[in-house]
Amino acid sequence: MKKILAFAGSNSSVSINQEMLDHIVNRIKGHEITQIKLTDFPLPIYSRDIEVDEGIPENVKKIQDLIDAHDSLVIAVNEHNGASSAFFKNTIDWLSRNKRNFLEGKQILLFSTSPGKRGAKSSLEYTRHIFIRFGGEVIENFSFPSFRDNFQDGRVINEVLDMGIEDVLTTFAHQIET
């Protein structure tokens, strides 16, 4: 049994990526899952001046401690105007300033969703590339399109997308066990 840390990159109280994360986490069986909300760890907007004058914020260290205490990560990547949200990017910036390879040794499942047909694919691709750069091993990633058309009442209603999610989760579970 592996220890998995799960969170969404969104700071919205009505985040569809958080809804999708809740669904995904409930489908992962046989592992110890800790789900957090990054909004519980407020951070100032990254600034070299803040880093020099005040040091690395304690909440960055708390997030890093949680990452370090887990074998794998499941992360929902949100998108604003074709890019990662400023909130999520800021968290990544602070984590990378605290520890350059802050994801070293971590196996990661990334996914994204949006109301649009691309399912936040641009943000997902950016995050996948940058997480590799910071030492993470992205095992699986998937983009879930047209959230409101394909997800209702806490479940996936599109059978093809549901089977795709199951395939991704099966591969992820197999990879983290090896």
pLDDT band at residue 178 under the 50/70/90 scheme = confident
Q: What is the pLDDT of residue 138?
A: 97
Tens of pLDDT, residue by residue over 152-172, are 999 999 999 999 999 999 999
Task: Map out the domains of the chain with their CATH numbers.
Answer: 3-177 (3.40.50.360)
pLDDT category at 82 given cuts 50, 70, 90 is: confident
DSSP-H helix ranges across the chain: 16-27, 48-54, 58-68, 86-98, 121-133, 147-150, 159-177
pTM of the prediction?
0.95
Please write down the HEC assignment for all residues of 20-51. HHHHHHHHCCCCEEEECCHHHCCCCCCCHHHH
